[in-house]
Amino acid sequence: MFGTHIGTIYGPDIPSGTVIAAPGCVMASMDKFRIRVKGTGSHGSAPEKGIDPILTGAEIVVGLQEILSREFAGTVTKVLTVGSFHAGNAFNVIPEEAVMEGTVRAVDEAVRQQILRRIREISENIAAAFRAKAEVELVTGAAPVMNDPGMAALAAEAAEEIAAQCGGKVITAVKDPTMVGEDFAYFLEQVPGAFLFLSSSDPEKHTDYPHHSSHFDVDEDVLWREAAVFTAIAERLNRRASVRTSMKA
């Protein structure tokens, strides 16, 4: 199984048309969490009469970051981001609840599971310390994207063949996987394969913006390259199958 992703995931400095075909982990796992902090509403002038879910939630946000900085070595690759925090609708009222959502990314399954476990423990215990209650929902997503070494090498050979014909670069190793997640991981858990990347970063065409930027665009002039690489991959796999069939005969 082979797939590809176009854009600037591995950075805007990689020239458009470059193919990345690397073995091992190339993308992180992707999980979502939702924490609902339940307190007791009161007037903002009398906080002692309520239980403040905003203050409690803020402490939880800080506590979650402590997981990364105090429970793992600095060399361990991991990310925990709170991207959404909603509470209240009046400037002078302490609301009854606050809701936050975020994501966890890891390249090691044990690290991933420890972070998810600690999100629940820390959230529930901090909430209890503030006399509130935290309801934690963990929505697990795809595992890290792990390229089969043999299939990654085959894809790199195919990419080199196309590059030799039309120019361009092929990168066959990455120092660190991107922390972006991809559900192609599910396929790679079932069959050998590799997930490739095609850079479309060209400052002159303004295609060097990151994903999810309001200015994001792709260099359509290089789209054909990955189709050509897939064709070359298929040809190689077909030749391998033909050789095995001949040997059996």
β-pairing, 31-38 with 133-139?
A: antiparallel
pLDDT at 54 over 90: yes
Query: Last residue of a domain, which of 139, 164, 199?
Result: 139
Which of 7-16, 137-146, 224-233, 234-243 has the weakest average pLDDT?
234-243
pLDDT of residue 243: 73
pTM: 0.86
Would you state the structure tokens that stand for residue 168, as one six-digit string? 């361009």
CATH classification of the domain holding 209 = 3.40.630.10
Is there a single domain that holds both residue 129 and residue 149? no
Q: Are residues 112 and 71 in the same domain?
A: yes
Q: With pLDDT > 70 as the criterion, what percentage of the chain qualifies?
A: 98
* CATH code for position 106: 3.30.70.360
Residue range 120-154, pLDDT digits in tens: 999 999 999 999 999 999 999 999 999 999 999 99
Token pair belonging to 86:
């909603």
Contacts of 159 (CB under 8 A, 6+ apart): 19, 21, 170, 196, 229, 232
Overall average pLDDT of the 6-17 stretch:
94
Q: Looking at the predicted structure, is the pLDDT value of residue 195 above 70?
A: yes
> Mapping DSSP to helix (H, G, I), strand (E, B) and coil, where does residue 26 land?
strand
Let me know whether 88 and 41 are in one domain: yes
Express as a percent the part of the chain with pLDDT over 90: 92
The pLDDT assigned to 41 comes to 97
Strand partners of residue 1: none
Cα 58 to its chain centre, rounded Å, is 24
- The last residue of a domain, from among 74, 109, 139: 139
Residues 224 and 237 in one domain: yes
171-188 pLDDT, tens digit each:
999 999 999 999 999 999
- Boundary residue ending a domain (139, 173, 206): 139
Question: Which residues form the domain of 62?
Answer: 31-139
pLDDT beyond 90 at 248:
no
